[in-house]
Amino acid sequence: MRFKLDIENKILIPFMILAILPITILGIVSYWNGYQLLFHDRLQSQEELMGEALAYIEMIDGKVLDGRVSLSEGKAEAEEFFRNMKRNNLILMEEDLFLIGDDTKLDQAVRQKILESREAFVDEGNRRYLLRHYDRWNWTLVMSISKSIFLEELISIQKYTLLLTIIFLVLSMQSIIFIAHHISKPIKYFAEVCRKVELGNLKVKVDLNRGDEIGILANSFNHMIDQMNTSTEKLIEMTKFNEDILKNIDIGIMTTDRGGRLLTLNKSGKEILEKYDDIPILEELELQTLQTIDRKYSINQMITLNGSGGKTIYIDAGTSLLRKEDGSFYGAICSFNDISERKIIENNLIRVDRLASVGQFAAGLAHEIRNPLTGIKTGIQVIKNREANKNNKDSAELMEGLTDEIDRINNLVTDLLDFSKPKQAVREKADVNKIIRKSLDMAKEGIMTKEMKVVVATGEKQNFVFVDRGQAEQIFLNIITNAIEAVDHGGALHILTESIEEDGLSWVRISFSDDGAGMEEELLKKIFNPFFTTKSKGTGLGLVVVSKLIEENNGKIYIESKINQGTKISILLPEYRRDKNEE
């Protein structure tokens, strides 16, 4: 665990170091000076004693030279004198022979240095040896002095100095502690207030009535807190306002980071995604957002997706970069809206306009064509009868072919009239399963010819719809006929009826799925256009009439088709509700 110093100790420790350091240095210098003075005093005393001893030897040697005593008597007298001095640190040597003193006090190396040195002293270890040589007698006088500190003497000499130093040090420490506490107290208080602000308490204030810089800092801090409170309140209001906008706006808003990862999604956006949870809308939006981030420009486009039951979903999406003031970006924003209903209405309006124009043209054209056709057919029948009387077989076959072609043109005219002026739907309660069976009976010949497998799944429950029975039969028969023509020999047709809920309404969905050739997506977009057909002898009005009849009965139609995989046509008809449909 790492130890942290508070502000008081950070102030106290450096001040203590600054106070202790000079006092310690002063004590060391004082001690060293005392030691030097004491050592030099002791050394001077020993040197004086050595000088007196050497003078005494010279005096005895003078007697020897005067003949008053012999050399041996003089040496003996001198030795006796030095023994009587009773100096433990005195050694008298004649060459390397100890005359006076303990020879164990000098090891061989020190003894050799003493004999060879002509200096006044020799230092060895923590001792200094004072030397005096008297060459006439081959005597060496040695006195040793320890260089170790004379602790007791120093303490005795400097005890008052040490006492004053300790007193001054204690007073300095107390003063430093007081100063450090006085300086750190408002800083600690300031830090505690800042900690409360960090935890979110913006109501706290710094209560320091001082005239120095700390007081100025406290006043500035309080003013800053007031400004923060004001700015925070405005920011909260603005945030709530923006949140209310995002909650109540009827378009989806989502934001991402620089990597395209989703950050936020408003309520309307979630509702759109939940409404079409089986359609990958979010993936398409994220892909468009990534394109905006990569290309660094805004993208506005309509996303078209196919939902369940062949329903087409239209999403109007716009993406742009989220930029800072300096121009750098930190993410992207995407606004999207479900315009499926509007797009369907627009497509219906376009189709209605187109059909109205074509219908008006078709009605006029049908009347103009039907009148001469009647005359032509009558004339051909007369000619046919005459040729029959002549037994002209080739002419009879030719007349028969012309009659068939005229009937085909007449059927086309009938389709045009049905398309241009369909009869008013008379809606009533009808069992959709019975209508399907009747339509299959009417198409039985085509089914048997191709040996088709037809599977009808209606469930145990009866499905009642509110439609015009005749128009419903025409719708189903047309779709079944198209399936028969689309499948190969031995193909299959599956019919499924079920009750569903869509857009808050109850429907009966009738699905016709065949395994025929199918068609491309581009062709699929044109199948409701008048006169568009992929059949060699088709009129291109079958599905147009079906669409118009479904519209007359307040229904919906969805088509899904893939090449070599077949086609699925889903029709939604209003489910019969007695309380609503028979009021």
Q: Which of 105, 124, 152 is the last residue of a domain?
A: 152
Distance of alpha carbon 83 from alpha carbon 80, whole angstroms: 5
Token code pair at residue 384: 């046919």
| Maximum average pLDDT range among 93-97, 270-274, 518-522 | 270-274
- For residue 209, tell me if it sits in a domain: no
CA-atom Rg of the chain in angstroms: 62
- For residue 213, tell me if it sits in a domain: no
Does 103 score more than 50 pLDDT?
Answer: yes
Q: What is the average pLDDT across 261-267? A: 87
Q: How many CA atoms lie within 13 A of 339 on its CB side?
A: 14
Strands 453-457 and 492-502, bridge-based pairing = parallel
Q: Please give the pLDDT value at position 495.
A: 92
Judged by average pLDDT, the poorest of 118-127, 223-232, 366-375 is: 366-375
Is residue 46 domain-shared with residue 69, that is, in the same domain? yes
Q: Please give the pLDDT value at position 354.
A: 60
Residue predicted with more confidence, 62 or 528 = 62
Using a pLDDT cut of 70, give the percent of the chain over it. 76
Distance of CA 152 to the CA centre of its chain: 75
Distance of alpha carbon 220 from alpha carbon 41, whole angstroms: 68
Q: What is the average pLDDT across 335-348? A: 78
CA angle 257, 260, 263 (to 5 degrees): 50
Is residue 485 domain-shared with residue 350, that is, in the same domain? no
295 pLDDT band (50/70/90 cuts)? Answer: confident
Q: Please give the pLDDT value at position 363.
A: 58
Is residue 16 domain-shared with residue 131, that is, in the same domain? yes
Query: Domain of 387: which CATH number?
Result: 1.10.287
Q: Which of 108, 137, 152 is the last residue of a domain?
A: 152
Q: Please give the pLDDT value at position 51.
A: 83
Q: Please give the pLDDT value at position 231.
A: 83
Contacts with 266 (C-beta within 8 Å, 6 or more apart), sequence order: 246, 247, 249, 252, 253, 254
Is residue 413 domain-shared with residue 502, that is, in the same domain? no
Query: Domain of 443: which CATH number?
Result: 3.30.565.10
Is residue 382 domain-shared with residue 443, that is, in the same domain? no
Is residue 468 domain-shared with residue 575, that is, in the same domain? yes
CB 130 within 8 A of CB 145: yes
528 pLDDT band (50/70/90 cuts)? Answer: low
Amino acid at residue number 308: S
Place of tokens 């079409």: 276
Q: Please give the pLDDT value at position 535.
A: 59
399 pLDDT band (50/70/90 cuts)? Answer: low
Domain residues for the domain of 528 are 428-581
- Alpha-carbon distances of 325 from 255, 322, 452, rounded to whole Å: 18, 10, 70
Place of tokens 């198409």: 443
Distance of alpha carbon 232 from alpha carbon 255, whole angstroms: 24
- Written in H, E and C, the secondary structure of 224-291 is HHHHHHHHHHHHHHHHHHHHHHHHHCCCEEEEECCCCCEEEECHHHHHHHHHCCCCCHHHHHHHHHHH
Q: What is the average pLDDT across 471-490? A: 87
Query: Domain of 26: which CATH number?
Result: 3.30.450.20
Average pLDDT, the chain: 78
Task: Using CB atoms within 10 Å of the CB of residue 441, give its burial: 0 to 12 exposed, 13 to 18 middle, 19+ buried.
Answer: exposed
Using a pLDDT cut of 90, give the percent of the chain over it. 4
Q: What is the DSSP string of 483-526?
A: HHHHSPTT-EEEEEEEEEEETTEEEEEEEEEE-S----HHHHTT
pLDDT digits (tens, 9 = 90+) for 163-206: 877 888 888 888 888 887 777 777 777 778 888 887 877 777 77
Does 507 score more than 60 pLDDT?
Answer: yes
pLDDT digits (tens, 9 = 90+) for 223-245: 888 888 888 788 888 877 777 77
Q: What is the average pLDDT across 199-223? A: 78
Q: What is the average pLDDT across 377-384? A: 67
Is residue 577 domain-shared with residue 434, that is, in the same domain? yes
Q: Please give the pLDDT value at position 494.
A: 92
pLDDT digits (tens, 9 = 90+) for 136-150: 888 888 888 777 655
Distance of alpha carbon 285 from alpha carbon 279, whole angstroms: 12
Q: Please give the pLDDT value at position 407.
A: 63
374 pLDDT band (50/70/90 cuts)? Answer: low
Token code pair at residue 268: 């309307």
Is residue 260 domain-shared with residue 381, that is, in the same domain? no
- Alpha-carbon distances of 308 from 214, 336, 491, rounded to whole Å: 72, 21, 24
Does 579 score more than 70 pLDDT?
Answer: no
Collapsing DSSP states into helix, strand and coil, what is residue 414?
helix
- For residue 176, tell me if it sits in a domain: no
- Written in H, E and C, the secondary structure of 341-407 is HHHHHHHHHHHHHHHHHHHHHHHHHHHHHHHHHHHHHHHHHHHHHHHHHCCCHHHHHHHHHHHHHHH
Q: Please give the pLDDT value at position 411.
A: 59
- For residue 231, tell me if it sits in a domain: no
- For residue 144, tell me if it sits in a domain: yes
Q: Please give the pLDDT value at position 1.
A: 46
Token code pair at residue 573: 């008809």
Q: Which of 403, 420, 437 is the last residue of a domain?
A: 420
- For residue 488, tell me if it sits in a domain: yes
Is residue 575 domain-shared with residue 433, that is, in the same domain? yes
- For residue 190, tell me if it sits in a domain: no
Domains contained in the chain, number: 4
Is residue 463 domain-shared with residue 541, that is, in the same domain? yes
Residue predicted with more confidence, 162 or 273 = 273
Is residue 332 domain-shared with residue 404, that is, in the same domain? no
Q: Please give the pLDDT value at position 512.
A: 92
- For residue 15, tell me if it sits in a domain: yes
409 pLDDT band (50/70/90 cuts)? Answer: low
Number of residues written out for the chain: 583
Task: Using CB atoms within 10 Å of the CB of residue 281, give its burial: 0 to 12 exposed, 13 to 18 middle, 19+ buried.
Answer: buried
Q: What is the average pLDDT across 36-55? A: 81
Distance of alpha carbon 104 from alpha carbon 145, whole angstroms: 16
Is residue 311 domain-shared with residue 355, that is, in the same domain? no
Q: Please give the pLDDT value at position 319.
A: 92
Does 303 score more than 80 pLDDT?
Answer: yes
